[in-house]
Amino acid sequence: MTFVFAARARRLVLLAAGLSALIAGPALAEDRRVKIINETDHTIVQFYASNIGQNDWEEDILGTDMLRPGASVTVNVDDGTGYCKYDFKAVFSDGDVLIRQGIDVCNVSVYRYTGD
């Protein structure tokens, strides 16, 4: 009798562990790191990424750094909200500002700013 109970308990534990892995798997798999590549002729002096549910831009991700032409940086835009869609704002040394809306950072791992 004890052996049957122990075997059932073990199966329940394994089943629960398997179910929790299935449930947590997709949430943990969402990688919100994006490699930003500057393929323009001007330095990116500020870069912002805010989820589409925000009404304002978050802090400048580059801080005191800059992204020179030909350079790249990998940023983690995960703000803990679970959003996958983000708006990007790049401010360039020549004064240009480029805003790109609705970028799915759960599916895009590289984003290029080009001179086009």
Q: For 1-45, what is each residue's pLDDT tens digit?
A: 444 545 555 555 445 555 444 444 444 447 789 999 999 999 999
- Got the DSSP string for 36-97? EEEESSS-EEEEEEEETT-SS----TTTT--B-TT-EEEEE---SS---EEEEEEEETTS-E
Chain segment 47-88, per-residue pLDDT in tens: 999 999 888 998 999 999 999 999 999 999 988 888 999 999
Domain 33-114 has CATH 2.60.40.2890: yes
**Domain-wise residue ranges, the chain:** 1-30, 33-114
Tell which residue, 30, 32, 36, has the closest CA to residue 100.
36
What is the spatial order of strands in the sheet that 97-104 belongs to?
44-51, 85-92, 97-104
